[in-house]
C-alpha cells in the first residue's frame, strides 16, 4: 500500500477519539483521517463539522479512502460496514471483538475471496500486542496454553473492591465513565467480552475456529461479600481469568473468576490493565502486561494496524494453514469453589470429587473437582444464589 494513507473512520466514541489523539501525536506514520461517520450529528464534538458525516456510503464509496477503521459498538451495523468495505477491496481495521467472534467464518471468507486485509489487533487486550505475536513470533513454537486477564473493566472493578473497599456498583460506574466498559456493561461483567477475545486468540494460537456458545463464560456478577472475605482470609484476590490450553490432543477454553494468590503473576495486574501468560513447549513462560481498555491504549493498537497495512501486512492464519488438527473439547476437570445460600447446594453427584464442605449460619461452600462439560450443562450454574470460582489450583 502507498505510504500516505487516507482513513475513513466509523465511530467517534472513546476509541475513535483515542485514535485521533494518538494519530496526531505520532510522527512515524503518514496517515490522515478523511471522514468520520457518526450516528448523532447534534452531539458537541471537538473537531470541525466538515470532518463528520452520517452517510456511511460517503466513506465506503469514496475512492480516495484506502482504509476503513470500524470503531462502533453495534454488531450488525459493524459487520455490514466491514463486509461492504472488504467487497469494495478496502482494507479494514476493527476493534470490535463481538462482531469478529460472531462473524469469524464469513470474515475469513471475505478476506480470502476479495484478497483484502482485515486487521483487528485492538480487539484483544487493547495495547498488548497479542495477535501479530501469535501469528508471527509464535509461528513455530508449540504453544501449550494462553491464560490471562482479558477484560479491563472487570479487572478495574475487582481491583477497586480488593484494594480500596469500593462497592461493585460504584466501581462499575467509574469504569463506564472512564470509557473502559462496553456500551452494554453486562458484556464485561458476565464474561462475554473476555470470551470473544479468547475466541479470537484460539484461532491465532491453535487454529481452532469456534462459535461464542462453544466457550463457557461465568462472570463476576454473582461474587458475594462472603466470597471476597474468604479470598482475603486466604491472602488471595479474585480475578476474571480466560484460559485456553492444550491437554493431550485436545484444547479446552473457558472464562471464569478465580482466586489468585499473592505470588501469582496475574495478581500484579491491576485496574484497567490486562495480563497474558503465554506458554510454549520451547519458549516456556512469557508474560505480557499492558492497558487493556481506554481510548489511547486501544487507539494505539488501531494505529499499529494502520501502520502494518503500510507494509502490506495481513494475517495469514498460519495455525489454520498448518492444519494442527487439534480437537476442541470441554472434557476437562476443574477444581472449583462453590458458595451457595441454604437450599441452593449443587448436587454432589455432579462433582468428580469433593474435598471440603463448609456450612454455617452465614456462609456455605464446597470445594470440588468437576468436569467443564458437566458445569456447562448444569442448571444450578445459572442460579443467582450460587457463586462459582476456580480455586488457586483450578
Ligand atoms: N470493555 C472492554 C474491557 C474494552 O473492559 O476490556 C476493551 O476491549
pLDDT of residue 374: 98
Q: Angle of helix 192-206 relative to helix 97-114, nearest 10 degrees?
A: 30
pLDDT of residue 140: 77
Q: Where in the chain is the domain with CATH 3.40.50.720?
A: 4-133+295-321
Residue 361 Cα to ligand 1 middle (Å)? 38
Taking alpha carbons only, the member of 334, 178, 163, 181 closest to residue 255 is 334
Q: Is the CB–ligand 1 distance for residue 150 below 6 Å?
A: no
pLDDT of residue 323: 79
CB 67 within 8 A of CB 7: yes
**pLDDT tops 80 at residue 192:** yes
Q: What is the pLDDT of residues 25-75, one digit of tens each?
A: 998 888 999 999 999 999 999 899 999 999 999 999 999 999 999 999 999
The model's confidence at residue 3, banded by pLDDT at 50, 70 and 90, is low
Q: Which atom of ligand 1 is nearest to the CA of 187?
A: 1
**CATH superfamily name and code, 4-133+295-321:** NAD(P)-binding Rossmann-like Domain (3.40.50.720)
Q: What is the pLDDT of residues 147-157, one digit of tens each?
A: 999 999 999 99
Handedness of CA 227, 243, 247, 265 (dihedral sign): negative
Q: Is the CB–ligand 1 distance for residue 182 below 6 Å?
A: yes
Catalytic entry in 34, 97, 197, 291:
197
Cα 341 to Cα 332, 337, 362, 383, distances in angstroms: 27, 14, 8, 10
Q: Which atom of ligand 1 is nearest to the CA of 122?
A: 8
pTM: 0.97
- CA dist 281 and 259 (Å) reads 26
- CA dist 63 and 54 (Å) reads 18
**pLDDT tops 80 at residue 141:** no
Q: What cell was used for 161?
A: 473492591
**pLDDT tops 90 at residue 191:** yes
Q: What is the pLDDT of residues 92-140, one digit of tens each?
A: 999 999 999 999 999 999 999 999 999 999 999 999 999 999 999 998 7
Tell me the three state secondary structure of residue 362.
coil
Strand 5-10 and strand 364-371: pairing?
unpaired
**pLDDT tops 70 at residue 359:** yes
Q: What cell was used for 24?
A: 496526531
**Residue 168, by phi and psi: left (phi above 0), alpha (psi -120 to 50) or beta?**
alpha
Alpha-carbon torsion, ordered 353, 232, 176, 376, to 10 deg? 0
Taking alpha carbons only, the member of 9, 56, 55, 50 closest to residue 33 is 9
pLDDT of residue 372: 98
Q: Is the CB–ligand 1 distance for residue 266 below 6 Å?
A: no
**pLDDT tops 70 at residue 1:** no
Q: What is the pLDDT of residues 203-255, one digit of tens each?
A: 999 999 999 999 999 999 999 999 999 999 999 999 999 999 999 889 999 99
Taking alpha carbons only, the member of 94, 17, 10 closest to residue 58 is 10
Length of the chain, please? 394
Q: Is the CB–ligand 1 distance for residue 181 below 6 Å?
A: yes
- CA dist 176 and 103 (Å) reads 26
Q: What is the DSSP-derived secondary structure letter of residue 326? A: P
pLDDT of residue 30: 85
pLDDT of residue 2: 59
**CATH superfamily name and code, 143-291+326-390:** Dihydrodipicolinate Reductase; domain 2 (3.30.360.10)
Mean pLDDT score of the chain: 96
Q: Where in the chain is the domain with CATH 3.30.360.10?
A: 143-291+326-390
224 is catalytic: no
CB 145 within 8 A of CB 119: no
The arithmetic mean of pLDDT across residues 174-182, rounded, is 97
Q: What is the pLDDT of residues 270-310, one digit of tens each?
A: 999 999 999 999 989 999 999 999 999 999 999 999 999 99
Handedness of CA 129, 117, 254, 379 (dihedral sign): positive
Amino acid at each position: 500500500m502507498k505510504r500516505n494513507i487516507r482513513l475513513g473512520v466509523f465511530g467517534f466514541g472513546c476509541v475513535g477519539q483515542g485514535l485521533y489523539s494518538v494519530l496526531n501525536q505520532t510522527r512515524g506514520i503518514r496517515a490522515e483521517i478523511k471522514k468520520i461517520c457518526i450516528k448523532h450529528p447534534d452531539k458537541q464534538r471537538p473537531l470541525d463539522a466538515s470532518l463528520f458525516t452520517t452517510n456511511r456510503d460517503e466513506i465506503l464509496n469514496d475512492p480516495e479512502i484506502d482504509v476503513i477503521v470500524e470503531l462502533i459498538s453495534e454488531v450488525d451495523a459493524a459487520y455490514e460496514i466491514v463486509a461492504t468495505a472488504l467487497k469494495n477491496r478496502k482494507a479494514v481495521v476493527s476493534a470490535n471483538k463481538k462482531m469478529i467472534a460472531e462473524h469469524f467464518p464469513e470474515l475469513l471468507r471475505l478476506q480470502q475471496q476479495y484478497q483484502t486485509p482485515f486487521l483487528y489487533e485492538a480487539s484483544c487486550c487493547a495495547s498488548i500486542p497479542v495477535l501479530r505475536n501469535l501469528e508471527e513470533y509464535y509461528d513455530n513454537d508449540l504453544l501449550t496454553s494462553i491464560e490471562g486477564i482479558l477484560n479491563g473493566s472487570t479487572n478495574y472493578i475487582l481491583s477497586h473492591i480488593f484494594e480500596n473497599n469500593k462497592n461493585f456498583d460504584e466501581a462499575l460506574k467509574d469504569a463506564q465513565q472512564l470509557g473502559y466498559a462496553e456500551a452494554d456493561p453486562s458484556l464485561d461483567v458476565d464474561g462475554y467480552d473476555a470470551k470473544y477475545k479468547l475466541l479470537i486468540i484460539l484461532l491465532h494460537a491453535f487454529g481452532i475456529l469456534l462459535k461464542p456458545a462453544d466457550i463457557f463464560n461465568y462472570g463476576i456478577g454473582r461474587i458475594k461479600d462472603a466470597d471476597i472475605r474468604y479470598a482475603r482470609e486466604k491472602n488471595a484476590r479474585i480475578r476474571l481469568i480466560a484460559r485456553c490450553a492444550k491437554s493431550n490432543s485436545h484444547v479446552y477454553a473457558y472464562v471464569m473468576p478465580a482466586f489468585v494468590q499473592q505470588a501469582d503473576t496475574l495478581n500484579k495486574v491491576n485496574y484497567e490493565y490486562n495480563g497474558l501468560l503465554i506458554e510454549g513447549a520451547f519458549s516456556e513462560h512469557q508474560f505480557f502486561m499492558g492497558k487493556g481498555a481506554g481510548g489511547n491504549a486501544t487507539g494505539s493498537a488501531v494505529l499499529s494496524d494502520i501502520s502494518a497495512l503500510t507494509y502490506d501486512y495481513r494475517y495469514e492464519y498460519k495455525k489454520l494453514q498448518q492444519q494442527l488438527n487439534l480437537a476442541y473439547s470441554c472434557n476437562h476437570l476443574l477444581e472449583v469453589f462453590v458458595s451457595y445460600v441454604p437450599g441452593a447446594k449443587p448436587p454432589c453427584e455432579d462433582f468428580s470429587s469433593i474435598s471440603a464442605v463448609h456450612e454455617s449460619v452465614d456462609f456455605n461452600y464446597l470445594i470440588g473437582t468437576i468436569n467443564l462439560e458437566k458445569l456447562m450443562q448444569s442448571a444450578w450454574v445459572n442460579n443467582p444464589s450460587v457463586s462459582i470460582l476456580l480455586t488457586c489450583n483450578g
